[in-house]
A and B are shown apart, each in its own frame.
Chain A
Amino acid sequence: MMRDGLPEWLVRLLKPVYCVPSLLRASWYLLGVSRGCRVRVLWGGAVRVRGASRIRLGDRVWFNRSSIPVELICGDNGNLLIGDGTGFNFGDSVQASQLVRIGHSCMFGGFTRVRDFDGHRTAPVIIGDRVWLARGAVIEPGVRIGDDAVISAGCVVLHDVPAGAIALGNPARCMPITSLRRNGSEVAGVESDSPDHPPPLLLTL
């Protein structure tokens, strides 16, 4: 990016100028969607919208630059509500046929799927504030996710997730974030010598 070499104060000064293209892209891609101020689609990003009149976006919602478009699909009787400051990464898909409500300041990693019907049943999906959905997470119908929860990568959530918990695995199991540990760097069922590097904080079970 061009702005990397510039001093901090100049970046802050130029910020209104830099965000103009993304604001224009938002008004193009989100035509007919009722949205708050400063909704942005970053350069290279794309959003596919169906049922635009029943989708509501809060302030400062942003869609990341991407190679694969984000889908926002709302059925005829559905409501899709997205809170302030929520960010979407590439390949995300949010489908609402009844109600999908997403709180403010959530983070959506790439290829996450949120939907409130699965062809058999329809139940509202409610996602709290400051929730982090990591890459490839799938939220099934009828799930409520509490504030500050973390859904780890590739996780398939079938049941409710309490506030401040982390959901891991498929099917998802919940645990408090504080109970995660920095050990166990081997796959279950295998014995081997210690790894060469310090083990990372594992975001899988």
Chain B
Amino acid sequence: MGWWSKARLYLKMHCSRGRIRLGSGLVVHGRVLIQGKGCVRIGAGVHLDAHQAPIVLTAFQNAEITIGEGVLIESGVCIEARSAVKIGSHAKIRAFAMLLDNHFHQLEGDRDIAPESCPVLVEDEADIGPRAILLPGAQVGGGTRIGPCAVLSRRTPPGLVLQGNPAVVCKPL
């Protein structure tokens, strides 16, 4: 299935008028869905491992998803961007993690209107644990490890381990 999925991605890249860019040495297993009208940039040597469940990359209009070099993205990861989601090089996004830069509904008033979005940034060599959720405004520092099922919506310095919902600092790496 990997070659077929990869072929579909390359076909999509060629039909996208430069919106989608795939780097060299891309490794794809399973289904990868790229949705929306925004830009998706995937760097060199990225490993998209969707053996178990499809990876969904959704970039809405005027949004940008940037994935750096050598990033590992495991199955079921869901990245949704309305402004920007940026993943630094050699970061690891584990299975079923979610990166959202918008809450998509307002808390008060009309819930069909999406609130303003806030970019999500994952710096180099960070490690997002399985089923972790990065909410709008999350900025993970370089080398920081986010534990499994953690929920983060703030900025963290580099080189720490965070766990829990809400995510708190456990220890230095």
Residues of A within 8 A of B (CB): 4, 67-68, 107, 110-111, 130, 132, 134-136, 150, 152-156, 166, 168-170, 177, 180, 184-190, 192, 195, 197-205
| Complex Cα gap A60–B165 (Å) | 34
Assess whether B89 is interfacial by the CB under 8 Å rule. no
Give the A-B contact count at a CB cut-off of 8 A: 112
B13: interface (CB < 8 Å): no
- Docked pose: A199 CA to B168 CA in angstroms: 18
Question: Do A188 and B166 have beta carbons less than 8 Å apart?
Answer: yes
Residue of B nearest to A155 (CB): B165
Chain A residue contacts of B162, Cβ below 8 A = 187
Residues of A within 8 A of B166 (CB): 168-169, 188, 204-205
State which of A110, A184, A188, A197 has its C-beta within 8 Å of the C-beta of B118. Answer: A197
Q: Tell me which of A132, A166, A169, A188 contacts B165 (CB under 8 A).
A: A169
Chain B residues closer than 8 Å to A156, beta-carbon distance: 165
The 8 Å CB contact of B33, one of A67, A107, A132, is: A67
Total number of B residues with any Cβ neighbor in A under 8 Å:
43
Q: Is the CB of A136 within 8 A of B54?
A: no
CB distance from B85 to the nearest CB of A (A): 14
Does B136 reach chain A (CB closer than 8 Å)?
A: yes
Residue of B nearest to A184 (CB): B154
* B151 and A202 form a contact (CB under 8 A): no
Chain A residues positioned under 8 Å from B165 (CB to CB): 154-156, 169-170, 204
**B76 engages A68 (CB within 8 Å):** yes
Q: B51 contacts which chain A residues (CB < 8 A)?
A: none
CA distance A111 to B56 in the complex (A): 13
CB atoms of A190 and B105 under 8 A apart: no
Q: Are A154 and B149 in contact (CB under 8 A)?
A: yes
Best-surrounded residue of A111, A135, A156 (most CB of chain B within 10 A): A135
- Contact in complex: A195, B155 (CB < 8 Å): yes
Q: Kindly name the residue among B76, B151, B157 whose own CB sees the greatest number of chain A CB atoms within 10 A.
A: B151
Asked, given contacts A169-B166, A204-B166, whether A132 binds B105 with beta carbons under 8 Å apart, the answer is yes
> Are A192 and B115 touching (Cβ within 8 A)?
no
Question: Chain A residues near B139 (CB, 8 Å)?
Answer: 195
- A180-B107, A195-B155, A202-B135 are known; give 19 further A-B pairs, CB within 8 A: A68-B54, A68-B76, A107-B105, A111-B96, A136-B131, A136-B133, A152-B151, A166-B107, A170-B149, A170-B164, A177-B107, A187-B156, A190-B160, A190-B169, A199-B137, A200-B137, A202-B153, A204-B135, A205-B166
